[in-house]
Structure 1
């Protein structure tokens, strides 16, 4: 029997940034062991044309679970996404200069998919190790959401594979505004992500905490 492994993806730097914390996190976790599981990391281009195809190639190796990471610079916590929507509506261009508007991620596919991760347990686990974490109902309509939706659509016939998306904030000392109040030190983010990924590989049921929003 093949040993279980978790595919962890992050994005290349965007729009002239020197670094992208989503990839720095994934890169530093590459090769780590969580019990019998191994983490393997892959870097995705911040490109509507190339991101989904790069992800599909990584999925061809049949990971046992998948967690994709992306940057949400205005957020001040690790944000576990709950819903991927079949919509691309780019407010700004991607790294290739493409700016699609009001398009489907996959034509004719469902309007949305729910995350297949234990989202509330992951938030709780990060909080328990002292790292800010939250649930999110919107991954946006840029490349992050496209990857999230493409992931769940690609795995629609493999319903037992846990899969989903986590947005991360800036890491202190990284990005255009390294002093941003929303930034969290990279070591803290790593600690929170390790706790989250431990929940994924444990395979238990999600928590029943209240996690909804009014608006």
Structure 2
């Protein structure tokens, strides 16, 4: 059976909850389309790259799908590009290329999400914080270790309880979870 390493994040900053970590935990151990989900909730620190490195060695997945929160977005966004830059204007890897492209079949995933009435789009900018770092670190690790693992990153919106007193978009946890399940099936 194929294995999918599904990562999400712990809460951070002023956010008491992080739906990416909630979805990852809820999906742990599931069999989706003949693929076993193995989840790990990461800290929102630059140490998370080393954790992913260990998980890849321990699990030997065929796919890696990393999730993160993009609170101002109103759709599930499939990230196409990770750049070699942190929010502190430092390179993630000095010897790394300027950018990596997702290894996931983004167009196929998007088509399936839309077919199932899940608001989604492809994004060309994963930001410069930890989400971009995780995507870049993972793709760099795979390339330099010559590993044939399909990997990429998906941003998800806030869930309603996070925006009760804020004028920001949200999506139900159930819709997000269904969207990630559809994405895993489309791999």
User: Which has the larger share of helix?
Assistant: 2
Aligned-pair CA distance for 1:17: 2.1
Q: What's the secondary structure of 2:85's corresponding residue? A: coil
Aligned-pair CA distance for 1:4: 1.4
Quote the residue 2:140 is aligned against: 153
Larger radius of gyration: 1
Distance 1:19 1:104, change over 3 A: same
Compute the TM-score of the two structures, normalised by the length of structure 2. Answer: 0.94
Aligned-pair CA distance for 1:126: 1.1
The answer to whether the 8 Å contact 1:172/1:179 transfers is no
CA distance, structure 2, for counterparts of residue 84 and residue 15 of structure 1: 23
CA distance, structure 2, for counterparts of residue 143 and residue 58 of structure 1: 17
Compute the TM-score of the two structures, normalised by the length of structure 1. Answer: 0.82
What are the superposed Cα offsets for residues 136-173 of structure 1, whole Å, 9 maximum, x if unpaired?
A: 00000001100100000111144531100000000122
Deviant stretches of 4+, over 6 Å: none
Quote the residue 2:51 is aligned against: 54
* Residue in structure 1 matching 2:101, options 114, 119, 129: 114
Quote the residue 1:142 is aligned against: 129
Quote the residue 1:82 is aligned against: 80
User: Which has the larger share of strand?
Assistant: 2
| Unpaired segments ≥5 residues, structure 2 | none
Distance 1:148 1:177, change over 3 A: farther
Quote the residue 1:15 is aligned against: 13
Aligned residues: 185
